[in-house]
Amino acid sequence: MFSLPETTFSFGGDEYIHAEITRDMKIESNFKALAVTKELKRRNIPGIQDVVSSNASYLVRYNPDIISGKDLVEYMREIDFTKSDPAKLDLSVRLIEIPIWYDDPITAEYSARYKDRHPDPTRSNFEFCMKVNGFTDKQAFIEHHSSSPYLVTMIGFLPGTAWHFPLGLQSKEVIQAPKYNSPRMETPERSIGIGGAFNVIYPANGSGSYNLVGMSAVPVFDMSKRLPCLEDSPFLARLGDIWKYRPIEESEYCHIRSKVEDGTYRFNIRNIHLSPLEYVNRGKDYIQELLEDQ
């Protein structure tokens, strides 16, 4: 029987407990982190002040005047153990379509503006990502990057930033790219970046060091809450979401942007059941079947 990795617990001062499932990024470890942190929140243990899930770990902040760190670790260890069997995990997640204009002039302009900070100043970020991943054809790169869905594994940095990792691929199939040598001072809102094996969509203008390969037509952060999907929260991403990129051209990008601006755009969102056990056993075939069933 396959079991998810055994977790290592360590204290961070008097108020934090860090739980490390694995040191390298594994989708299975993120499934476990999501399940454990959900259960910790559900139990509402007195003294716990915050619970944060990460890529392959999670962090708990607690009040030592209410609960001792030793007792809390025992609670966490018990919960963690129950979430180590994929057959017993049940994830209800959202599948969200993200329309992307690849190799656009906006991110190309930022590539040129900050080329002196980049590992290869002779190429745009898009061209660099193609090169380091062995692609010579633009459409082949776009097809590969957009064909697999991405799991939102961590949220942080700028408000609404969601790190997402490709589902169902072997490590050699994952598009990866080194970050900038020194971060950009500016990054356009809604640009999509690749850093290592992770992708992000920058929620707002700000600094950044991931390679920019396109622009999302839809916002991932909006304080105005103009769109129905963002009425309850200005942040699109939730941990465990699955994002699926859909390549678009400039004309559709502009059309969607106009609908976003007047508040009439509707996100393509579907609720699906994701089985960690099926994922562990079948990988890419299971993910493709899951997408085809929708």
pTM, entire model:
0.92
What number of other Cβ atoms are within 10 A of residue 171's Cβ?
9
pLDDT of 266 above 60: yes
d(CA 2, CA 82): 14
Q: State the fold for domain 92-292.
A: Cyclophilin (2.40.100)
Give 68's pLDDT tier (boundaries 50, 70, 90). very high
pLDDT of 5 above 70: no
SS3 per-residue string spanning 42-109: HHCCCCEEEEEECCCEEEEEECCCCCCHHHHHHHHHHHHHHCCCHHHCCEEEEEEEEEEEECCHHHHH
pLDDT of 201 above 50: yes
User: Average per-residue pLDDT in the chain?
Assistant: 93
Each domain of the chain, given as residue ranges in start order, spans 8-86, 92-292
Check residue 176 and give its pLDDT.
97
What's 8-86's CATH class? alpha beta
Looking at residue 201, what DSSP letter applies?
E
Decide: helix, strand or coil at residue 145.
helix
Percent of the chain at pLDDT exceeding 70: 98
Reading the block at residue 111, the tokens are: 């590539």
Residues paired with 271 in a beta bridge: 94
d(CA 94, CA 88): 20
pLDDT, tens digit, 9 for 90 and up, residues 9-22: 999 999 999 999 98
Check residue 84 and give its pLDDT.
83
pLDDT, tens digit, 9 for 90 and up, residues 135-189: 999 999 999 999 999 999 999 888 889 999 999 998 899 999 999 999 999 999 9
pLDDT of 88 above 60: yes
82-86, 244-248, 251-255, 267-271: least confident range? 82-86
d(CA 48, CA 155): 20
Percent of the chain at pLDDT exceeding 90: 79
Check residue 1 and give its pLDDT.
47
